[in-house]
Amino acid sequence: MNSTTPGQRFTAARIPDQSGRTAVITGANTGLGFETARMLAEHGATVVLACRDLGKAAAAAARIRTAAPGAEVRVQHLDLDSLASIHAAAEQLRAEHARIDLLINNAGGMRTRYAVTEDGFESTFATNHLGPFAFTGLLLDRLTTTPGSRIVTVSSIGHRRGDIHFDDLQSEREYRYSTAYFQSKLANLMFTYELQRRLAAAGAQTIAVAAHPGNAQTEFGRELPRIAQLLLHPGARVITWWLLQSAAMGALASVRAAVDPEARGGDYFGPPGRLQFTGYPAKVESTAKSHDRAAQLRLWAESERLTKVIYPLAQRVDH
């Protein structure tokens, strides 16, 4: 693929050949994850749909094989709300794949009502941050021994409104679904930046990159209040065309983060502009909070403590 120069749009046509590469994509049975998997499969990658519902994952795999005849598509059970499921999925993937080229932490959720996982974690924080943190750590050796591998974590423009509430990470004192979601999306970026710093210090062949889809039309808002669901309905496109884009357009940010040869560790891709709601992905900036090193280190330590997944990567000391 020719390098993407300023003014050029990154489209699916610009995806380089992915033959011989294996991509594990969480939450890939629908929406952004499905479109990401489809585009990578159409360009030759072996894709693994890591999903909570195996029936929906199998149906999605069949749809991808129809869109990309001959594509190698596999399914893997993974429930990010369960550390037991995360360990089991990672163990199976490690047994079946000597190398993993791409891990795309796409799955996400938002509970409108407070809920606790079987491990005692607040569900939104578990699904969006603690689960991906643990899953990535358990697959890290398969990634770091694969030349050119990447870890892509999907954040959100909502991270701009996020704060890490270290005194109440699990929202036990007060739960607001928007606050919990924005916190988790800020955590995604802080995880990416600290992970990249540690990978670089270790001289790893792997880079960590982040992406956001803008405002994409997916099933994500099914638990939102009724008024929000109405705005997300396809029939509302006549008045929300400037606010929302298709799942395929939104997924281009994750795909660019995964395959653009000019991407560097710590890059963040998504629709550009002041609002970053819609558009072809470009390299964008995240908030100053996301780059707070002290907060990154504290979040990392808390994530290891809570999940009991310890990364074999020492923190980098910058002088």
Contact 100, 141 (CB under 8 A): no
Query: Active-site residue 181, yes or no?
Result: yes
End-to-end, the C-alpha distance of the chain in Å comes to: 38
Report the C-alpha gap between 218 and 242 in whole angstroms: 16
Residue with tokens 């974590």: 153
Other residues' Cβ atoms within 10 Å of the Cβ of residue 303? 23
Instruction: Give the total residue count for the chain.
Output: 319
Q: Which of 114, 175, 177, 181 is catalytic?
A: 181
Residue 188: which of 272, 286, 257, 93 has the closest Cα?
286
Report the C-alpha gap between 52 and 49 in whole angstroms: 10
Instruction: Give me the numbers of helices (H) and strands (E) for the chain, helices first please.
Output: 10, 10
Q: What residues are labeled active site?
A: 181
